[in-house]
Amino acid sequence: MDLRLKIWRQKDASSQGSFETYPMEDVSPEMSFLEMLDALNKKLVEQGKEPVAFDHDCREGICGSCGMYINGHPHGPVPAVTTCLLSMRYFRDGETIWIEPWRARAFPVIRDLIVDRSAFDKIQTAGGFISVNTGGAPEANSIPVPKKDSDNAFDASICIGCGACVAACKNSSAMLFVSAKISQFALLPQGRIEAKERVRAMVEKMDELGFGSCSNTGACEAECPKQIRLTNIARLNREYYKAF
């Protein structure tokens, strides 16, 4: 199929960017979205032009580094998949596809479709961990955990930190990401010891880095490739109120 790509090109965070148009012919519906971009870049290099810079790593839907805004949706119009797992069969022959980087003050553009998401690492470093003494691992069943709590903790822990929630939110809020990282510890006995310090530190760091407040529209959950639930934000709020 033939496509018309409108791709955001920007040299760096301090430069002014703009959309550039690239025609793509004979795109196989079996290609992934990133394979289609690979084919475009091969074509550009052969023409002596600068390839489009985009982030990627595992290409298995695990790391989340492939995030980009496609036709108004983080990771594209198909729910619960990352960009690397988005198939070209979901697009129509002759369609125009708009491709942009994440738009958030806390995620400055590095180049083209790549943004600096180290703000998430800073939030995680502020409190997203458990302090334990080193030594042999304790018996797995020595601390009983209700199955509902363990299931909810696991569901929260699968957040890959891709930033789709921030990109989807009109306030560029990181509440879904932070709440997932809070919930995976708050639901388990091992995480309760530092619960108050953790939630205070992570929320304060989130605000310091320039993320907006929760918009309460639910766009983050709708666009999350791992379907992290809004109930985690409610849990984050409860944890934060209890910490003072």
Higher model confidence: residue 78 or residue 136? 78
Residue 239: its pLDDT value, please? 97
Position 175 confidence tier, pLDDT thresholds 50, 70, 90: very high
Q: Considering only 73-87, 120-134, 188-202, which range has the smallest mean pLDDT? A: 120-134
105 plus 139 within the same structural domain: no
Q: Which amino acid is at 89?
A: R
Average pLDDT over residues 139-148: 84
pLDDT tens digits for range 55-91: 999 999 999 999 999 999 999 999 999 999 999 999 9
DSSP 205-242: HHHHTT-B---SS-HHHHH-TT---THHHHHHHHHHHH
Residue 218 Ramachandran class (φ > 0 left, ψ -120 to 50 alpha, else beta)? left
Handedness of CA 11, 16, 17, 18 (dihedral sign): negative
106 plus 127 within the same structural domain: no
Q: Which amino acid is at 128?
A: G
Which strand (E) or helix (H) includes residue 174?
none
Residue 103 near residue 167 (C-beta atoms within 8 A) = yes
Q: Where are the beta strands (DSSP E) in the chain?
A: 3-9, 18-24, 69-70, 73-74, 96-100, 109-111, 114-115
99 plus 173 within the same structural domain: no
Q: Which of 119, 83, 85, 86 is nearest to 101 (CA)?
A: 83
140 plus 197 within the same structural domain: yes
Residue 143: its pLDDT value, please? 82
Q: Which of 93, 94, 95, 113 is nearest to 103 (CA)?
A: 113
Q: Tokens 């390839």 label which residue?
A: 51
Q: Name the residue range of residue 125's domain.
A: 117-242
123 plus 213 within the same structural domain: yes
55 plus 171 within the same structural domain: no
Q: In whole angstroms, give the CA distance from residue 95 to residue 87.
A: 14
147 plus 39 within the same structural domain: no
Q: Which of 107, 112, 241 is nearest to 174 (CA)?
A: 107
191 plus 215 within the same structural domain: yes
Report the number of distinct structural domains present in the chain: 2
Position 106 confidence tier, pLDDT thresholds 50, 70, 90: very high
Inform me whether the pLDDT recorded for 168 exceeds 80.
Answer: yes
Residue 136: its pLDDT value, please? 76
Inform me whether the pLDDT recorded for 135 exceeds 80.
Answer: no
Inform me whether the pLDDT recorded for 141 exceeds 80.
Answer: no
146 plus 238 within the same structural domain: yes
Inform me whether the pLDDT recorded for 14 exceeds 80.
Answer: yes
141 plus 60 within the same structural domain: no
Read off the CATH number of the domain in which 158 is found. 1.10.1060.10
87 plus 179 within the same structural domain: no
Residue 131: its pLDDT value, please? 87
